[in-house]
Amino acid sequence: MMKFLYLDDSGNSGLNLDDAEQPLFILGGVVIDTEEWQKINEEIENIKAKYKIQDEIHAIEITNSKGIFKEWSLEKKNNLIKELLNIIVEYKLKIIFFKVIKKNYKAYFETHFTQAQNKMLKIPPYILAYSYVLQIYEQSLNDDESNGIVISDEQDSDILADNTLKILRVIDEPDIKIKKIIEKNFFINSKESNLIQLADICVYHIKRYYEMEVKENISAKSKENREMFFKIIENNVYNLKLDPTQHKILGFLMNDF
């Protein structure tokens, strides 16, 4: 059996690690069996038709009432998000993600490298998160005795080059042994992929949930909303315990500075 990991990110500010509005970066997505791909795609198409959506769905546009969602009521927007997230529950799709608290990421580089070295390295959180997503996905495939492919939005192709993983050796990351993932850099246009759009919805709301731990001035109503959406998909998250003794940077990412 072959599986696809549809991958997207949320909270990406590149090398700007001081954006108070985006203190957290998440990279992740949903794992889909090739046998169920068509059915899931049709489910999303049906939801789009129900809500008369012809364009690409962006989670942030729903939340901020942009584009076609400008005149939508809160109830209507919430119902759309719930229906999309419930596809993940209905088909028992695994969710894989890795989160980077940007202030911790910055602290690691400031502690281990000089200012001149940091200017040369320029490693965005995406690169590190990508390496961990691969490791988590690899273990998931081992559990399922499957092979897999990673499918990303083509706009990320300039971030992920084939030599990406070599860069990580500079920051003492061990070599990543990948056997089950047969294609790591397959890119498609998110406008043409309902599954990338589903990943976008999923990852965005994971980010909104964990953001509550590191972002100030979030209203009680917003917290309630964030928790509501995360609880829908919480049991679908695939958890892999990573060993900080094998990955020095994890000690920094897990601490509160």
How high is the pLDDT of residue 135? 87
Average pLDDT of the chain to the nearest whole number: 87
Contact yes or no for 223/208 (Cβ under 8 A): no
Question: By C-alpha distance, which of 211, 246, 229, 176 is closest to 24?
Answer: 211
Which residue range(s) make up the domain with 54?
A: 2-254
How high is the pLDDT of residue 206? 98
Spell out, as residue ranges, where the chain has pLDDT lower than 70: 115-121, 156-176, 242-257
Report field, pTM of the whole predicted structure over 0.85: yes
Alpha-carbon span 104 to 24, nearest angstrom? 10
How high is the pLDDT of residue 204? 98
How high is the pLDDT of residue 257? 34
Give the DSSP H or E segment for 6.
strand 2-10
Q: How many domains does the chain have?
A: 1
Residue 167 DSSP SS3: helix
How high is the pLDDT of residue 248? 59
For helices 74-90 and 37-50, angle between their N-to-C axes, nearest 10 degrees: 170
Q: What is the CATH number of the domain that holds 228?
A: 3.30.420
Given phi > 0 = left and psi -120 to 50 = alpha, else beta, which region is 11?
Answer: left
Report the 10 Å Cβ neighbour count for 238: 16
Across the beta sheet with 181-188, the strand order is 94-101, 24-33, 2-10, 147-153, 181-188
Alpha-carbon span 122 to 69, nearest angstrom? 36
Alpha-carbon span 10 to 240, nearest angstrom? 21
Tens digits of per-residue pLDDT, 39-58? 999 999 999 999 999 999 99
How high is the pLDDT of residue 256? 44
